[in-house]
Chains A and B, each alone.
Chain A
Amino acid sequence: DAKTTQPPSMDCAEGRAANLPCNHSTISGNEYVYWYRQIHSQGPQYIIHGLKNNETNEMASLIITEDRKSSTLILPHATLRDTAVYYCIVRVANTGNQFYFGTGTSLTVIP
């Protein structure tokens, strides 16, 4: 199964863009990259996902490198409510649709 590597923690000033990196060098061609976040002990919240192309929605943008070995989640204008643990996940193909969560990045948005 494809593994992901994320920095354990990051800080970001409120109102600035938060750029969260993720390495997934062993990703297979048909595996998607997903981003979820978990605020305190709440259920993980879906943010965005993509296969090859960059994606944008109302919450964030996802930039995937051309070789697909890494990606960056961008929160364009971070707020205090964006403080959370952010998980980058690569879906394991052909074994159902379950997610394998790593340790994630703990993002702290500073006033």
Chain B
Amino acid sequence: QKEVEQNSGPLSVPEGAIASLNCTYSDRGSQSFFWYRQYSGKSPELIMFIYSNGDKEDGRFTAQLNKASQYVSLLIRDSQPSDSATYLCAVTRNTGFQKLVFGTGTRLLVSP
């Protein structure tokens, strides 16, 4: 079982729709959860992080965390073609706050 699992996609949504990206993790001791966006050929850029159960909203983005189910998601409202990228879920290991374990990423395609 992979430590962090994501559906590789691609996830295709029309412009203006809500894109829902999902991630599950295996280490129950994971402390922090991150969503990164990576455009082709570029380095990852942080979108959001979440530590506590529930929802966290930032603009068009909402991160949702359910530690009991070991599940974290990212919702993108009013999706734009510029949101087309690979979205990486990352978690920190129980033993360290700062080492990130990444999922393989979900490729999102937003069509005009």
Task: Determine if chain A interacts with chain B.
Answer: no
Binding site for A on B (CB under 8 A): none
